Structure 1
């Protein structure tokens, strides 16, 4: 865990960052944000079925942004109770209010404003987890609100991507950083943190999940589709055909875990 900044510092920096970038982010990625895609490889929940039929259950999305995933679930499973949580109020405000209903929560994933054992499924699509340094704390919160045998499914940057430059061209095929570095941060001229992204190794995810009372049910490393030509940040056909850009983990809360 990164010891140079506190969890509150990370949260404050990323709240300000996403508040300021919300409109731009939605302008740049309209197709990806139009429905429930698990990753830039455009794996859709309709095909992936990682959550499946959530009718009549309570579902929480961490780092929902404008909640395209939660709204898709609410539209297709109208008896489900969909809750979308995000640190950024401006991201939440980008959600269309006249779409399928869901409950937005402006809160930190490190302090979920929900009762113990009150949720059937928690999921996250590149939200919250890459910007949280203390995985043990967030996984403990997820475990707390999940009912026994509840599911936790999330997608994140594939850990091996950390070693490569954030470049979609051939320059991004060369190792540039250590796999064991723990964070990328940006500070202003006063030394104040303005952006923070944490790196977690594969063993970090697995070990912290197990410590929080989860069993791993499935891991997916989506391949780059042959017909996908989109370049987005570090994601590109060139890099996507060589190594994975996304890791998806499906886990379940063990019975008897409180």
Structure 2
């Protein structure tokens, strides 16, 4: 049974969604979809690997986090935690956090099967359960940030738990993607809505309850959230679609990747 069937999804609306409703929907969605998601994309993300985005950019090549050996690292929105396991294998003391208990169950199972175990914490990104100045590095590869109603709180929380000089690097779907439908083919090249319309995308059940929520922010919004949290933006990476890469992952595809970016990676640090 798909997550849509399990949750009773019957339609799509565009309406405001507050923090508690968004969090409830995300927890329920990823709990219901965890097994299907990993069956479809587990090979793409790997068991002990750090893949930043569908374009296939790997931390082993990009080194956006710098040298992590000996560093205490927090992965925010870890899913099944392949990135945290890769960080651990690279010599970091990694902690993996996610809202979904089912995703963390898969993370625990993969920790056992790979022999690379990391501490797993169930919590939302807007309220990190850690003391101030706990981590040297924080990272997120499409985890949490696009799914929270108040991403500015995530930025403040990450800044709080970072030590001075600590790095925070996060990848999200590129904001310009909001203008297009989630279609990897030619229909996905046609602008459908305003880039400036920040009304969330919401899937609902018969009673109008949210079963899936995704929030949009412009590039400017993202940068303002970073700066308002007291962080410094060091780089904005827009990975290009590699020649010869034939993967289709949701809305990402070689066709669309040849025309416009699908991912934005923000590289920041706490001064």
TM-score (norm 2): 0.90
Question: Is 2:191 aligned against 1:169?
Answer: no
* Equivalent position to 1:186, from 203, 208, 214: 203
2:54 pairs, out of 33, 37, 40, with: 40
Q: 1:33: Cα distance to partner?
A: 1.9
1:139 corresponds in structure 2 to 155
Root-mean-square deviation over aligned CA pairs: 1.2
Aligned to 1:30, what secondary structure does the other structure show? helix
Distance 1:3 1:119, change over 3 A: farther
Name 2:88's counterpart in structure 1. Answer: 74
Match of 1:116 in 2: 132
How far apart are the structure 2 equivalents of 1:3 and 1:13?
A: 14
Distance across 1 between alignment mates of 2:16 and 2:173: 22
2:30 matches 1:8:
no
For residues 87 and 173 of structure 2, the distance between their equivalents in structure 1, rounded to whole angstroms, comes to 23
Displacement of 1:71 in angstroms is 0.3
Provide the C-alpha distance between the structure 2 equivalents of 1:215 and 1:150, rounded to a whole number of angstroms.
11
* 1:49 counterpart (60, 63, 66): 63
Shift of 1:31: 2.4
Comparing 90-99 and 106-115, the one that deviates more = 90-99
**Partner Cα distance (1:83, 1:10) in 2:** 24
179, 194, 206: which one aligns with 2:223: 206
Distance in 1 between the 2:226 and 2:65 partners? 18
Q: Could you tell me which of 243, 257, 267 is aligned with 1:240?
A: 257
Query: By how many angstroms is 1:3 displaced?
Result: 8.2
Unaligned 5+ runs, structure 2: 1-13
Q: Number of paired residues? A: 251
1:18 is the counterpart of 2:35? no
Is the 8 Å Cα contact of residues 84 and 95 (structure 2) preserved in structure 1? yes
- 1:47-68 CA-partner distances (Å, limit 9, x unpaired): 1011132122210000000100
Partner of residue 4, structure 2: none
The SS at the match of 1:29 is: helix
SS of structure 1 residue aligned to 2:193? coil
Secondary structure of 1:61's aligned partner:
strand
Task: Name the structure where helix makes up a greater proportion of residues.
Answer: 2
Counterpart for residue 85 of structure 1: 97
Runs of 4+ in 1 over 3 A off after TM superposition: none
Task: Provide the C-alpha distance between the structure 1 equivalents of 2:106 and 2:152, rounded to a whole number of angstroms.
Answer: 30
Q: Which runs of 5+ in 1 are unaligned?
A: none
TM-score computed with the length of structure 1 as normaliser = 0.95
**Is the Cα–Cα contact under 8 Å of residues 184 and 252 in structure 2 kept in the other structure?**
yes
TM-fit CA distance, 1:30: 2.3
